[in-house]
Structure 1
Amino acid sequence: MSISAIGALPVQVRAIHTGQEVAIIGRIDVHSVPDVRLLLHEIIDTGCGDVHMRLAGAEIGDATGLGVLVEAYNRARRAGRRLAVVDMTERTGRLLRASRLDRALVLREPGDDATVVAVTA
């Protein structure tokens, strides 16, 4: 498992058997989005398989937080990958449903995909 500190947000990235898992902890808003964007671009551009996003420890603070998820989804799709939000708070789930982003993002319930295969950066 690799842990990065992007700005003020700790991020954990690890390889799983179907792709990569990214756990973001903290508030995703106008102040942290540039760092989150850079990290997600690197993960999407250099990895393979699905990108599983765990947002249970994250708080979407404003529209830029939602925007960076949409941008990552589109970038992953263009790269032939799939972005899946696999774990989130109730509040994040409500935001995604209210904005109808749950129709665009691939949402799945948390599974047992937690087998670590290798460490990624």
Structure 2
Amino acid sequence: MTVSGVGVLPFEVREHASGQEVEISGRIDVRSVPDVRLLLHEVIDTGTGDVLLNLADAEIGDATGLGVLVEAFNRARRAGRRLAVVDMTDRTERLLRASRLERALVHRPAGDSASGAPTAATVAPLTA
């Protein structure tokens, strides 16, 4: 199942064998966070396996953008799932490192997505 939509931000949700991939485009800030939060809550609450978050075409605009990622990470963990950042811009990566969120969020190199759904062995923490 693939779901896509345009509210404040364009998004696409694709099903994989071991979870779901959510691709978000645009600026994630105080205006768009409520929509992003609702989307991520629905994906986390209704799916199984890893939640793969693709932010290659997204920009974290302010602290609320980082906050929604932390909230989604915690919600996924409580649901017995893992939130994995699949791809991100250099700016987003710098923000995650500066805020030390790379310790909590998990990153899977974007090149691996063509090989199918990730396994626990292919999901690795961000490194310096």
On whether the aligned pair clears a TM of 0.5, the verdict is yes
SS of the residue corresponding to residue 72 of structure 1 reads helix
Is 2:100 the partner of 1:100? Answer: yes
- TM-fit CA distance, 1:107: 1.5
With 72-81 and 11-20 compared, the bigger mean Cα shift is at 11-20
Contact 1:28 1:59 in 2 (8 A): yes
Cα distance between partner residues in 2 of 1:102 and 1:34: 23
Cα distance between partner residues in 2 of 1:64 and 1:112: 29
- TM-fit CA distance, 1:109: 1.1
Paired residues for 1:82-93 under 5 Å: 82-93=82-93
Cα distance between partner residues in 1 of 2:99 and 2:47: 29
Is 2:72 the partner of 1:57? Answer: no
1:110 maps to which residue? Answer: 110
- TM-fit CA distance, 1:5: 1.6
Q: Percent identity?
A: 72
TM-score between the two structures when normalised by the length of structure 2? 0.86
SS of the residue corresponding to residue 21 of structure 2 reads strand
Is 2:11 the partner of 1:2? Answer: no
- Aligned pairs, number: 115
Q: Which residues of structure 1 form unaligned runs of 5+?
A: 117-121
Cα distance between partner residues in 2 of 1:113 and 1:4: 22
The structure with higher relative contact order (CA 8 Å, sep 6+) is 1
- TM-fit CA distance, 1:16: 1.1
Q: Which residues of structure 2 form unaligned runs of 5+?
A: 118-128
Amino acid at match of 2:10: P
